[in-house]
Each structure stands twice: as C-alpha cells, then as structure tokens.
Chain A
Amino acid sequence: MSTQQRSFFFNVDWLTVFLYLILCAIGWFNIHAAVFDANHSSIVDTSTNYGKQFIYICVSIVVGIVILLLESRFIAALAPAFYVVIVLLLVLVLIIGRNVGGNQAWINMGGGFRLQPSEFAKFATCLLLARYLSGTNIRVTDPKSFLMAAAIIGFPMLLIMLQPDTGSTLVFCSLIFVLYREGLSPYFLIIAGLFITLFVTSLLYNPLYIILILVALTAFIIFLFKRNRQLIKTMVIGLAICIAFIFSVKFIYSHVLKKHQTERINILLGITTDLRGKGYNVNQSKIAIGSGKLWGKGYLHGTQTQYSFVPEQSTDFIFCTVGEEWGFAGSLTVISLFMFLILRVILIAERQRSPFTRVYGYGVASVLFFHVVINIGMTIGVVPVIGIPLPFISYGGSSLLSFTMLLFTLIKLDSNRKSNV
C-alpha cells in the first residue's frame, strides 16, 4: 500500500498542477483589480467577487484532491451516468433556470451561489466521448461510429443552444480536433475552415467577386490535372456547394442568426461601428489592452479597469485587466502559460497506453484551446463577442470548478498510465 501511495505521488504530473495553480492565482489577482474598491480592500472579503473567487479556488483545489484520490476505474465507468445527469440538468435548467443576461443557463443553489450546468457539460461530453471511442471495434472512420460520436457531442450542444448560449454551444465544435486525432478525415477540418472563410469573406465583400475567384481557382486546378477525372468531378461538386453556401450566407445571416449575433459580427468585421452602443464593450476592451503598452500600468493602476470602462470585466473580459495592468509582458506570460498547459496536456494524452485517457486528453486540450483563443480573441476584437470565460482566470465558480474537474481528471488518469485501465 505504501509503495503504491508513493508511486501515485510521483506519478502525478506536478508541472500541470503547478501551471493550474499559477493561472488560478493570476485570475484571482486580476479579479481583485477588476472589481477593486477602496471601501472593500481586503482581498478575501466574501461579499465581493474576488472574495468569492477565493472560496471557489479553495473548493476547486479540494475537488481536485478528491479526484486525485478516486479510483481511476470509476471515472471511465461513471462516464455515462455523469453524462446522463448533466443532460438532465441541462433539461432542468430550461424549465426552472434563472435567466441572466438573456441566457437561461443558471440553476439557483441558494446562498447567492448559482450552478451553470453547461460548464459541466463539456467535462461530461469529453468523458463519454473518450469512453465511446476507446471501445473495441470503434473507428471514427466508420460512418456508424462517427455518427454516434457526433450524437454524443451534438446532444448537449442542442440543449445549450436552446438556452440560448451560443458561446458554450460553439465550444463543443472544438471536439472536432479529438475526432481528427482519432482518424477523422482531414477534409472535415479543411471544409470547416473553408466554410468559415467563405462566411466571413462573403459578408465583407461582394459575393459575386468571391464566386468569380472560386471559379477561376477551380478552372486553374482542373487545367493542371485535366487527366484526373475523379478530381474534376469533386472540384465541380465542391464549387457548386461553395456557391450555394455563399448564397445561403445572407439567408443565415438575416434569418438564422439572432439580432445581437449579427450585430456583433458586423462590428467585428467593421461593417458597422457603434462605439457607444453595441461596439462599446469591444472598443473599451481594446483601449484597455492597447493602452497597457509593454509593462502595463501596474497592479490596481489600470485606468480602464479601475474606473469600470469595460463591462463584464471580471468574467468574460478579465483579459483586459491583464493586458492593461501588466502590459504585453503580462499578456505574453498568460498566453505562454496557457500554451504550455495545452501542449503539456497533448503530451500527456500522447503518452497514454489507454486510448480512453488519450481521447479524453485531446478533449481537454481542445476545450482549453477553444476557450483561450476565443476569449482573448474577442477582447482584442478578432473574433465576435461570444460570452465564454477564460479558463481558471475568469470569475465564476461553475467555470472554475468544471475546468478543475476537467484537468484533474486527466491528471488522475495520467498518474495511472503505467497500469492498464
């Protein structure tokens, strides 16, 4: 027993734990700066966001330790049950949930605390996906298996879309990287990239020009490979689909997307500017980050932060505080920490003998990556504003707890990598 204990201790990936703790600490300090008020200067005052965040961090660490003490086999075994519970909660939130900011995403827990099931849905989905894809005779290349995997991802997505929480919905799209790693055709990635590009460009420019460019490009490729009839056929069909997509963009834009979504996209693409209204948030956020220069204005000295020019600053726009008070040095530090963490997670995933842990690890990396890129991207105005938090740093108990569970489950699984699960 004692040798097992020691090996467990040494098998825990302390580097990941260390990165996690640093990120949590950075988050806490920046939340403190974001909501700092000279009248409540104690950093652990529980009536304030940073005081609450301190509690969340403590709870998360306890939960992390509990996870590390769990039996690895339980985790895989309990995955479907956990998934079902989360799905039920997602249904429940649609019925009894509290509507905050247009999203019916919270369940009141009493005592001023609220639970956001969609945050935990990522964790549950990753687990079940890992469990499913690690099953015998399951190959993503097999259409039946692919559809099943897509269903596992799609079901919670659908429920979250009904809240409607676009940000959290889109997070699930990042799991395409998991499927790719497990054998999904690269065309999915390419086509996804192509469609995103077409969507943006056809909003920015006259669709006619884009179609002309596409036709010219296709003609050129066909000219190069005129012997390859199969390729010609694919290219022509592809072209037809692209053109159809371009024409449908306007329709999607005006009928499928919500008004606030199209406004956010318009502002991002510079189609409309509305610095006092819809564009206020992003503009002020850019001003905060941009005015940080190299070394920043110093802790509690960011004028944008201290004088509350950026709304939602302790949650979705927490990166403004980092950018303003710590400058590019701070931005670089935080992004580097995330990059190390993500690369470390991929490394952990790849060193597993168990496919379950590997698939799960890729899930963790993909979700983290998506959150970091989209969150920071929206604060500097390169992606539309979709409210998703910055992992470990943004204020919010559900978010912190779910990311802690996500990460510590991987650490736990990794610590058992020598034994076959």
Chain B
Amino acid sequence: MNKFFERRYVVTGIFIAIILALLGRLYYIQIVDDRYTIYANSNVRRTTILYPARGPILDRNGKILVQNEPIYDVMINPKEVKPFDTLLFCKMIGIDKEGFDKRFIKAKRQSPNTASIFEKQLSVELYAALQEKLFEFPGFSIVPRTIRTYPDSVAAQFLGFIGEVTDRDIKRSNGYYRLGDYIGVTGVEKAYENVLRGQRGVQVQMVDSHGAFKGSFANGALDTVPRSGERLTSSLDIDLQRLGEKLMQNKLGGIVAIEPSSGEILCYVSSPTYDPNLMVGRQRGNNLAKMYNNPYKPFFIRPIQAQYPPGSSFKPLSALIALQEGIINPNETFYCTGNYRVGNRIVHCNHGEAHGTVNMAKAVAESCNGYFTMVFQRIVDRYGVKNTEANFVAWRNNVMKFGLGARLDLDMPAESRGNVPTPLHYDNAYHKGGWRSSTIAALAIGQGELLATPLQLANLECTIANRGFFYKPHLIKAIGTENVIKKEYVEKNYVGIDSGYFEPVINGMEAVVENGTARRSKIPDIIMCGKTGTAQNPHGEDHSVFVAFAPRDNPKIAIAVVVENSGEGAHWAAPIASFIVEKYLKGKVTPRESGFTVDYFANANRLPDLSLYAQDLQKERRRDSIRAAKVDSIKKFKADSIKKFKADSIKKERREAAYNNKPANWIKTLTGGRTGKS
C-alpha cells in the first residue's frame, strides 16, 4: 500500500510489549506479592481490646473481699479540641494548668488524630460533674473502666494488688499482655492471675485515612466477646481476719490460723498491714512509694516470708520424733537442775528455774530446755558419735516431713523455705566430722540455725491436731461458680509418726494452757493445746511465739502467732492466739479470768524503736526492699550463726540499753513482777 507499511508491526510490537510488561508488573503486585494485603489491613483495621471484669474474691462465708468498681478515664482527641474554658476543666478533674499543658502536649505527640488517655481513673463523683458539662469541652470523652475495690480493707497481703505490666511481663507472656494492661503483682492477684483476669475480647473496627471509625470489620467476624474472670472463694474468715489485724496493729509479726481438717487458712495476718484501697486509684503511685519507704515494711508478707527461730514451740516436734524413733519412753523421767551440760557448754532453763523431775508431758508443759537437749543428744548420738552425720540426717528428714525447711506450696507467690540446717552447713562452719551433737544442741530447743515461717508453724500444729497428717494449707478453697477445688488440697500428707505417740505430747500441750506458761490465755470452756516460744534472734529483743490448736478433741483450728521483738510467747502471742481461737469457735470473745481484753492487746504498741533499725535500713535501702530483706536475713543468719554469741553480744548490749530506756517496763506492771516461763 505505502512505503512504510511494515512499520505497523514495529509500532504494534512495541505497544504490545510495553502493555504486557505492565500486566506482568500488575500480576506481580496483585497475585504474587502478599505484602500489600497486610499493609491494606493495617491501614484500615483498628483492633480494640475489650477488657473483661476481673474476678471477685469472697471470704469463706461468701462476704466480699474484692470487687470491681466503675471508674472513668478521660480521653482526648487533640484534633477535635476547640477552644474551651481550660480553667474550669482543670478544676473539674482536679489538675492544674501546668499539668493540663503537659498532658495535652503528650497526647498530641502520641496520637494527634485519635483518642488517647488524658487523665486516668476519675471517681464517680468527678465523673458525674464532668459528664454534665462535657459538651463544653469538644474533643474530650469519657471511657468507663473498672478498678479493684476492697469494701472491708482487710487482708492486704493476701489479696495483693494489680499494676500495669512491665516489659518483662510482656516478654514472658509471649505477647499476651500489651503495654498498659493490668496484671496481678502480688498476693492472690498474682497467684491466680490466669483465673482472675478472664478472657479478653477484641473488636475489630475500620477507620478511614483520618482515623475516624467507620463501623465493624467484616460484620464482626473477627470480634470476640470478653469473658469475665472467675470468682474465687477464699478460705479466710473475714471476721477472724479483722480481729487478727486489730490485735496485731502497732506490732510486727504474723498470724496464720488453719482448719486442720481441710488445710484451709482461716486467718492470714501480716503486720503492719495497709489498706488495700491505697493500691488503686490516682494516688497509687504516691502510696506505693510511701509503703516501700516504710521501715516496718508493710509489703513484707510475714506469714510466709518472715522466717523466725521457732524457739520452744519446736519442742513438741522434738518429742514426737524421739517417741517415734523409740529413743525415749513418755514416762521416763529426767531430773532438771536448771542447767544441763552439753560438751563444754551449759544449757540453762529459762530464768534459771529448776524443774526437778520431769516426764515428757511435764517437760513440754514447763518447757524444760535440759530435757529436750538430752533427748536431742540421744537421737544424734544413737549409733555412736562417729555416725553423727547420718543420725543427724535421719533427724533432719523427720523434721522436714512436717513441712519445715521447704516450701509448703501455698497458693501464693514468694513463699520462704525456712531453714533446717544441712550437714554441709556444719561441715563448712567447722570441718567434716568436726561437729557433734553438743555442737548443734541449740536445734533441740528450736534455736540455732532453725527457721520457720508462721505458716510452717501453724501447719505443724495442724499435724499435731490431726495426730499425724496435714492437708496442704491453701487460701483459695474454690475456683469459679462451680467451686472447683485443686486435687492436691484433699490429699493427706502423713509425717511418719504413729498417732498413738501424740497423746503424751498433747497432754503436755494441754497443760501449757491449763496450768503452764500460757495459763493466763486459757479460754473459758474450751480446751486449747498450745506451746509458747521465745525466739532469740539477731535482730533485737526475743520474738514472742505461740502455737496452738483447739479444741483438744476433734480440733477445729490450729494457729501460730509471732509478735516480733516483744519478749516471751506467753505475754503477747498466746493471748492474741487465744482471742482468735475463741472468736472462731464461739463467734465472740468472752471475758477472761486473767482480765485480758482484746482492747488492751489491740491498743498496745510493740513496734521496735526505729533507731535500732537504722543500720539495717541503710544497708537495705541500697537494694530492692522485699526480696533483699529475705535474702539478707538468710545470708546474715548463716554468717552470724556461729559467731553469734560473741559478735552479737556487743550489738545486743547496745540494743538492750536502748530498750531499757523505754519508759514503762510493762511486763512487770501486767504480771505483778512475776516473769513467766516460755
């Protein structure tokens, strides 16, 4: 046709080639490359987490210990904010102008187009006032949330508290938690976090390019409904708990009371305590700091973290082991002259008393140190001094069957082990084979390196009350509305002592209260079996210890009370324990022959002088308070135990001097100058 006819193919070829290249590229980004779908989804989807209500916690009678209360977060969307009366707004939510500017700038930097938290946790009152005026403050909105609230303000150390997750929590949870989530930090909130937190829901919504919400994604196909946390029924008796906390106010120490027939903990007092309501709300941060700086360490959970020498309260256990091992006959007598020679040392009975002829029951009742040192020596020397180590290990194993020296696996975090020394400990302290029964004789009377938590002591009483077994102590008796109980809590743990051996020991313990060291704590119409203890310790005055169970037959309650630095068990721990036992068994406290009243003990101040704590505090402040305290006491104990008597004596003297400066020597006024035994 014309000259350049064939060029139509060149042009067509170029056109087709380029269009095919374009199609190839489209094929690549539309079919092969999956990234863009992800980008598109992240562009348009906004996932909102719907938080479930945390599970409530009840006491054993169904009374509420923790519940949820609505609070209100003020949200701000900086883009929608228009000029308004800043001053009025600040006044309404209780902040100043400076605080307002700070929050506003922060919100603007964080997310200029979407809502973020402006001020957290407004109370219902503030919310009600603000809600009415909210229309005057464009860009601000209110989102309801719930916080924990404690109607009776009791059992703070049991309940623990929740707090925002840390980076470590997030990492450990494999991404379950997100920044700003709440998690149980201590106590039951931590131990039962998985049950209490419930199941989060998500709501996937769509947003446009300006971040404005445009309805649910895929008609809610990805949305899930939040499920509330399970309800926990605690074994605590709220009335008993309240009484225990009242009795322990202005004192340091702990109370653990257990129902022997189930292992359920009835009372779990750590003193000093605090109002758990301080751990929620807007002042939480300030309160936390105050609490951490409190020298008496309210966050130290004394029932399970404090480790005390059991002192004489250990003696019934010593007796039981000796009986089981056939070392001694309960009727065999021992003549106490007031002091007993072990090796080149002399063990004195308290206050230089001579008990005369004692059998086992009397030795328990009168707390004869000589008798129990003798018994202990016989055990450790039974197969000759060359076998001291093996004999000691056998004794140690018997002790540990009672739950001492190891965690009882209480359903709470941060339980301490206590301590039953190992042969290795003595090998290191002396040298292998360089120690004898006489060297470690202090163990016989619950001193030396022996350490136990109040929980372990109470559990020991349960075992005696049950005549030979215990149920694992626990604080949560049922989970959820179906009252699920963990299987391990209904299994008996036998300690390897035949039930027949208990009677002579229990006879002795009955005598302790009937006419022995704790007779002033006798409860009318109830036979309580107990044992006082006066625990020598490197931290100052002796700890007052009392362990007991009641009634003698078919026991309903076993209890351990420790009042730190208060002297003899009979003077403080025993009366306090008796009030709690009586309250539990009778529902009320009746007047006593001895004239002891709840109010007297509740009002007494037995807090140690802070100046004595100054040295310890300086050391500890450098570290983190709670954990450090625990580690420190063990370390210190190990280091000090051997040289204790020498090295501490100077320190102790200084301390005693300080105590003597106290205005009232109250014991004398109370007991008419008569000092009791322990």
List residues of A whose CB falls within 8 A of some B CB: 177, 180-183, 186, 284, 286-294, 303-304, 306-309, 323-324, 327-328, 331-332, 335, 338-339, 342-343, 346, 350, 355, 362, 365, 369, 372-373, 376-377, 380, 382
Q: Do B11 and A177 touch (CB < 8 A)? A: yes
Q: Do A331 and B30 touch (CB < 8 A)? A: yes
Q: Do B37 and A181 touch (CB < 8 A)? A: no
CB distance from A79 to the nearest CB of B (A): 21
Measured between beta carbons, the chain A residues less than 8 angstroms from B2 are 355
Q: A369-B15, A373-B19 are in contact. Are A291 and B4 (CB under 8 A)?
A: no
Q: A181-B8, A308-B209, A362-B11 are in contact. Are A303 and B40 (CB under 8 A)?
A: yes
Beyond A290-B36, A293-B30, A303-B44, list 14 extra A-B contacts (CB 8 Å). A177-B14, A186-B10, A290-B35, A306-B214, A307-B207, A309-B208, A323-B30, A327-B30, A335-B19, A338-B19, A339-B15, A355-B2, A369-B15, A380-B29
Q: Do A183 and B3 touch (CB < 8 A)? A: yes
Q: A181-B8, A327-B30 are in contact. Are A291 and B18 (CB under 8 A)?
A: no
Measured between beta carbons, the chain A residues less than 8 angstroms from B36 are 286-287, 289-291
- The complex places the Cα of A267 from the Cα of B35 at a distance, in Å, of 19
Of B8, B15, B31, the contact of A342 (CB 8 Å cutoff): B15
Measured between beta carbons, the chain A residues less than 8 angstroms from B214 are 306-307
B482 at the interface (CB under 8 A from A): no
Q: Do A182 and B4 touch (CB < 8 A)? A: yes
B84 at the interface (CB under 8 A from A): no
Q: Do A323 and B208 touch (CB < 8 A)? A: no
- The complex places the Cα of A346 from the Cα of B11 at a distance, in Å, of 9
Contacts of B22-46 to chain A: CB distance below 8 A: 22-23, 25-27, 29-31, 33, 35-37, 39-41, 43-44
A-B pairs with lowest CB-CB distance, top 9: A290-B36, A291-B40, A307-B208, A303-B44, A328-B30, A290-B29, A291-B37, A287-B39, A309-B209
Measured between beta carbons, the chain B residues less than 8 angstroms from A284 are 43
B7 at the interface (CB under 8 A from A): yes
Measured between beta carbons, the chain A residues less than 8 angstroms from B209 are 307-309
- The complex places the Cα of A294 from the Cα of B26 at a distance, in Å, of 11
B12 at the interface (CB under 8 A from A): yes
Measured between beta carbons, the chain B residues less than 8 angstroms from A346 are 8, 11-12, 15
- The complex places the Cα of A380 from the Cα of B30 at a distance, in Å, of 10
CB distance from A340 to the nearest CB of B (A): 11
Measured between beta carbons, the chain A residues less than 8 angstroms from B40 are 287-288, 290-291, 303-304, 324
Measured between beta carbons, the chain B residues less than 8 angstroms from A339 are 15-16, 19
B497 at the interface (CB under 8 A from A): no
Q: Do B7 and A180 touch (CB < 8 A)? A: yes
Q: Do A294 and B11 touch (CB < 8 A)? A: no
Q: Do B26 and A328 touch (CB < 8 A)? A: yes
- The complex places the Cα of A42 from the Cα of B666 at a distance, in Å, of 94
Number of interface residues of B (CB under 8 A): 37
**CB-based nearest B residue for A369:** B15
Q: A288-B40, A290-B36 are in contact. Are A331 and B26 (CB under 8 A)?
A: yes
- Most chain B CB neighbours (cut-off 10 Å) among A186, A307, A380: A307
Measured between beta carbons, the chain B residues less than 8 angstroms from A304 are 40, 43-44
Measured between beta carbons, the chain B residues less than 8 angstroms from A380 are 22, 25-26, 29
**CB-based nearest B residue for A324:** B40
Q: Do B8 and A309 touch (CB < 8 A)? A: no
Measured between beta carbons, the chain A residues less than 8 angstroms from B16 are 339, 343
Measured between beta carbons, the chain A residues less than 8 angstroms from B4 are 181-183
**CB-based nearest A residue for B4:** A183
B206 at the interface (CB under 8 A from A): yes
Q: Do B43 and A303 touch (CB < 8 A)? A: yes
Q: Do A376 and B11 touch (CB < 8 A)? A: no
- The complex places the Cα of A186 from the Cα of B11 at a distance, in Å, of 11
Q: Do A287 and B43 touch (CB < 8 A)? A: yes
Q: Do A289 and B26 touch (CB < 8 A)? A: yes
**CB-based nearest A residue for B37:** A291
CB distance from B13 to the nearest CB of A (A): 11
What are 10 of the A-B contact pairs (CB < 8 Å)?
A183-B3, A290-B40, A324-B40, A335-B26, A339-B15, A339-B16, A343-B15, A350-B8, A380-B22, A382-B22
**CB-based nearest A residue for B3:** A183
Measured between beta carbons, the chain B residues less than 8 angstroms from A365 are 11, 15
- The complex places the Cα of A343 from the Cα of B206 at a distance, in Å, of 43
Of A183, A287, A377, the contact of B22 (CB 8 Å cutoff): A377
Q: Do A335 and B207 touch (CB < 8 A)? A: no
CB distance from B208 to the nearest CB of A (A): 4
- The complex places the Cα of A309 from the Cα of B41 at a distance, in Å, of 12
- The complex places the Cα of A286 from the Cα of B10 at a distance, in Å, of 31
Q: Do A323 and B26 touch (CB < 8 A)? A: yes
Of B3, B8, B23, B30, the contact of A290 (CB 8 Å cutoff): B30
Q: Do B19 and A286 touch (CB < 8 A)? A: no
- The complex places the Cα of A350 from the Cα of B36 at a distance, in Å, of 43
CB distance from B39 to the nearest CB of A (A): 4
- The complex places the Cα of A183 from the Cα of B11 at a distance, in Å, of 12
Chain B 187-228, CB-CB to A under 8 Å as 1, else 0, gives 000000000000000000011110000100000000000000
- The complex places the Cα of A323 from the Cα of B31 at a distance, in Å, of 11
Measured between beta carbons, the chain A residues less than 8 angstroms from B19 are 335, 338-339, 369, 372-373
- Most chain A CB neighbours (cut-off 10 Å) among B12, B19, B26: B26
Q: A328-B31, A339-B16 are in contact. Are A180 and B207 (CB under 8 A)?
A: no
CB distance from A100 to the nearest CB of B (A): 21
- The complex places the Cα of A376 from the Cα of B2 at a distance, in Å, of 34
- The complex places the Cα of A294 from the Cα of B2 at a distance, in Å, of 45
CB distance from A306 to the nearest CB of B (A): 8
- Most chain A CB neighbours (cut-off 10 Å) among B18, B33, B39: B39
CB distance from B6 to the nearest CB of A (A): 10
Q: Do A293 and B26 touch (CB < 8 A)? A: no
Measured between beta carbons, the chain A residues less than 8 angstroms from B41 are 291, 303
**CB-based nearest B residue for A339:** B19
Measured between beta carbons, the chain A residues less than 8 angstroms from B11 are 177, 180-181, 346, 362, 365
Measured between beta carbons, the chain A residues less than 8 angstroms from B25 are 380, 382
Measured between beta carbons, the chain A residues less than 8 angstroms from B208 are 306-309
Q: A183-B4, A335-B22, A346-B11 are in contact. Are A303 and B206 (CB under 8 A)?
A: yes
CB distance from A175 to the nearest CB of B (A): 12
Measured between beta carbons, the chain B residues less than 8 angstroms from A294 are 30-31
CB distance from B37 to the nearest CB of A (A): 4
Measured between beta carbons, the chain A residues less than 8 angstroms from B14 are 177
Chain B 41-83, CB-CB to A under 8 Å as 1, else 0, gives 1011000000000000000000000000000000000000000
Measured between beta carbons, the chain A residues less than 8 angstroms from B3 are 183
- The complex places the Cα of A373 from the Cα of B19 at a distance, in Å, of 7
Q: Do A328 and B37 touch (CB < 8 A)? A: no
**CB-based nearest A residue for B210:** A308
- Most chain B CB neighbours (cut-off 10 Å) among A181, A183, A323: A181
CB distance from A59 to the nearest CB of B (A): 30
- The complex places the Cα of A373 from the Cα of B206 at a distance, in Å, of 33
Measured between beta carbons, the chain A residues less than 8 angstroms from B31 are 293-294, 328
Q: A183-B3, A307-B214, A331-B26 are in contact. Are A290 and B33 (CB under 8 A)?
A: yes
**CB-based nearest B residue for A366:** B11
**CB-based nearest B residue for A283:** B39
Measured between beta carbons, the chain B residues less than 8 angstroms from A342 are 15
Measured between beta carbons, the chain A residues less than 8 angstroms from B43 are 284, 287, 303-304, 307, 309
Measured between beta carbons, the chain A residues less than 8 angstroms from B7 are 180-181
- The complex places the Cα of A375 from the Cα of B40 at a distance, in Å, of 22
CB distance from A355 to the nearest CB of B (A): 7
CB distance from A416 to the nearest CB of B (A): 18
**CB-based nearest B residue for A332:** B23
- The complex places the Cα of A408 from the Cα of B8 at a distance, in Å, of 22
**CB-based nearest B residue for A193:** B14
CB distance from A83 to the nearest CB of B (A): 24
CB distance from B625 to the nearest CB of A (A): 46
- The complex places the Cα of A309 from the Cα of B11 at a distance, in Å, of 37
- The complex places the Cα of A288 from the Cα of B206 at a distance, in Å, of 15
Chain B 609-621, CB-CB to A under 8 Å as 1, else 0, gives 0000000000000
CB distance from B432 to the nearest CB of A (A): 72
